[in-house]
Amino acid sequence: MPVATGEWRTLLDASHTNGWKMVGPGVLKWEADELVTYGGMGLLYYEQERLGDCKIRVVFKLTGEHDNSGVFIRMPHLPQDPWDAVNHGYEVQIDNMGDDWHRMGCLYSFTKARNVVNAKVGEWTTLLITLKGNRTIVQVNGTLVTDYTEGQPVPERKLWYEAERGRRARSGYIGLQNHGGDAQVHFKEVSVAPLK
């Protein structure tokens, strides 16, 4: 069961991974109390509840400058494969190397970074994702990167691996991506709190 710590309720940390399920290739392994991505492209998703009107805190660490991962939000149904998450939810990007539409804290290929923030390799970084109705706000280490409301203009889909366009659910399932290749992103915590 999730653990309550003040207003925050821990969904995933070294003490438990209850309610999480893997779909697709690759694996996430616990190593020294850190969940590490291997192979992919796969998705570890939380199947116990849909989240909406809340704050989601994800604490992660890059091990190399080219590491790549993501936090999926607003998935309307439990994913049958990782592309369900890509095409029907949003990916909050974890990647320092992308352009302003495909980089740290953006809704991948949907939103342009309001501020460019790089995660420091070897240091813990905190993503704070706020879901409030149709609005999605993403901060990286306290700096605003995304503030998007459903219906705002987005660029056309240009690449085959970019998500299908369309509105996303007000509430949905969340997941962590293991992107593939040599990327090894470490996750320490996923927690959720109600909006005040």
pLDDT tier at 6 (50, 70, 90 boundaries)? Answer: low
Q: What is the pLDDT of residue 144?
A: 98
**Segment among 12-16, 61-65, 117-121 with least mean pLDDT:** 12-16
Alpha-carbon torsion angle 59, 120, 21, 109, nearest 10 = 110
Give the separation between CA 52 and CA 89, rounded to whole angstroms: 13
58-94: pLDDT as tens digits: 999 999 999 999 999 999 999 999 999 999 999 999 9
For residue 88, how far is the Cα from the chain centroid?
Answer: 14
pLDDT tier at 168 (50, 70, 90 boundaries)? Answer: very high
Total domain count for the chain? 1
pLDDT tier at 182 (50, 70, 90 boundaries)? Answer: confident
Burial 62-78 (b: 16+ CB within 10 A, else e): beeeebbbbbbbbbeee
Residue 188 belongs to a domain with what CATH number?
Answer: 2.60.120.560
Q: What is the pLDDT of residue 183?
A: 87
Residue 165 DSSP SS3: coil
For residue 131 the two structure tokens come to 């879901």
Range of the domain at 64: 3-194
- Cα separation values, 11 from 17, 125, 155, Å: 7, 18, 33
